[in-house]
């Protein structure tokens, strides 16, 4: 979605609501499309006392694969996004992420901006749950689902030999 912002910049108190589905179809992690469903984006862009603000929230549902146990799961989160929109930066101090410079023709590609914000919010380590036990390195079983006893058996190979001799 491209926002036409001339009116907003020109008229103090002007406001425009935003409500649309954002599609991010080209983001994959491990061959899995992360954003299967369109992301509902709701909020508004407004001019308050000459300052143009963008405030939206994105209902992000991510389709992810756990780094430890390889289970595929969905995670939903509401990501609030807010930026101050400017036609030009006035000082180096403004080069913050908070400030977004609009195009010369007073438009803003909202898809591109939100896409960057959403991708930045992705976790660097993906776990299905905080205390995921992962896969057993011996039998490959998912240790969240079934407790196996491989580790006990493979603690000490010398004990294993002893055990075999006693058979």
Provide the binding-site residues for Zn ion, judged by CB under 5 A: 66, 68-69, 128, 132, 136, 138-139, 141, 148, 150
10 Å Cβ neighbour count for 143?
Answer: 18
Report, in Å, the least distance between residue 81 CB and Zn ion: 29
Nearest residue to 73 via CA among 35, 131, 128, 144 = 128
Q: What is the DSSP letter of 83?
A: E
Report, in Å, the least distance between residue 75 CB and Zn ion: 12
Greatest alpha-carbon span in the chain:
89
Q: Which is nearer to Zn ion, 66 or 81 (CB)?
A: 66
Report, in Å, the least distance between residue 120 CB and Zn ion: 23
Report, in Å, the least distance between residue 79 CB and Zn ion: 23
Write out the H or E segment, with its range, that includes residue 21.
strand 15-22
Q: Which is nearer to Zn ion, 92 or 131 (CB)?
A: 131
Q: Which is nearer to Zn ion, 113 or 132 (CB)?
A: 132
d(CA 75, CA 91): 39
Q: Which is nearer to Zn ion, 44 or 68 (CB)?
A: 68
Cα 117–chain centre separation: 8
């Amino acid at each position: 979605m491209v926002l036409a912002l001339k009116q907003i910049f020109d008229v103090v108190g002007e406001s425009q609501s935003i409500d649309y589905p954002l599609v991010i179809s080209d983001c994959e992690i491990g061959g899995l499309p992360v954003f299967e469903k369109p992301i509902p984006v709701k909020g508004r862009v407004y001019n308050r006392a000459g300052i143009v603000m963008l405030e939206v929230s994105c209902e992000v549902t991510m389709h992810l694969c756990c780094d430890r146990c390889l289970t595929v799961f969905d995670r939903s989160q509401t990501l609030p996004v807010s930026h101050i929109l400017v036609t030009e930066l006035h000082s180096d101090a403004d080069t913050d992420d908070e400030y977004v410079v609009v195009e010369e023709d007073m438009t803003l590609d909202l898809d591109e901006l939100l896409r960057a914000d959403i991708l930045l919010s992705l976790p660097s380590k993906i776990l299905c749950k905080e205390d995921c036990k992962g896969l057993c390195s011996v039998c490959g079983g998912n240790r969240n689902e079934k407790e196996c006893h491989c580790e006990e058996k493979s603690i000490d190979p010398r004990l294993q030999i002893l055990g075999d001799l006693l058979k």
